[in-house]
Amino acid sequence: MKKSLAVVACATALSTAGALTQPALASPNGATCSLNGQASFSTPLGSTAHDFTYGFTGTLSSCSAGDAASPGLPGASTVTAKISAGSPVVVGGVTYQEPKATGNGSCASSTTAGKALVQWSDNAVTIIDYTTTGAAAAVGLKGTVISSLTATAADGTTTTFTTTRYLADNALGALAFEPPDPTACAGAGVPAAGIQGQTILGSPS
């Protein structure tokens, strides 16, 4: 039942939030990947809309190159990535905090914005400045790849990640919001939820 919900939600997200721009990326110089992760909210999402911040961590896998002539992602089927937004990230044994992602909404509908750090398994880096629009279980993501992201440690020191893949290209996602107990939306609220679906990174070419 949960899998069916995810499939329906992803289809809905594409038709309501992503399909508007997807034709421009029908043959991207990039890759389409499966995203699977978890979002944790500063204030549980319930039936009443409110402001919140959140952190997200997950993976990108099962990637396929968009353009056989210039795929943009070497060995697309074997390359994977870690993806995070608004979360702690460890560099050289030091824990740094990424800028918090922000949002407003409820389980029924929401809008969010943030910067996602993608660390590819071949050591490339992609930084995505994104927004999302959610309607029930369906979440549509749009974004642009930017040059850098700075994270801050508890003592105030910083580290900067620099994009080495897809700079100035586009990002799209058709995702599903999957709370472990959907009935909590009408009660105590949802403090965390799974997020999964498909993402497209690249540019028309």
| 174-192: pLDDT as tens digits | 999 999 999 999 999 999 9
Decide if 205 contacts 170 (C-beta within 8 A): no
pLDDT-derived band at 11, boundaries 50, 70, 90: very low
Asked if the model's pLDDT at residue 4 lies above 50, the reply is no
- In this structure, of 22-31, 76-85, 113-122, the range with the lowest mean pLDDT score is 22-31
pLDDT-derived band at 65, boundaries 50, 70, 90: confident
Asked if the model's pLDDT at residue 69 lies above 80, the reply is no
d(CA 129, CA 111): 14
Decide if 104 contacts 52 (C-beta within 8 A): yes
d(CA 81, CA 85): 13
d(CA 81, CA 90): 15
Between CA 175 and CA 86, with CA 91 as vertex, the angle to 5 degrees is: 35
Between CA 97 and CA 47, with CA 176 as vertex, the angle to 5 degrees is: 85
Decide if 145 contacts 166 (C-beta within 8 A): yes
What rounded mean pLDDT belongs to the chain? 85
Q: Identify the pLDDT of residue 196.
A: 97
% of the chain residues with pLDDT over 90: 71
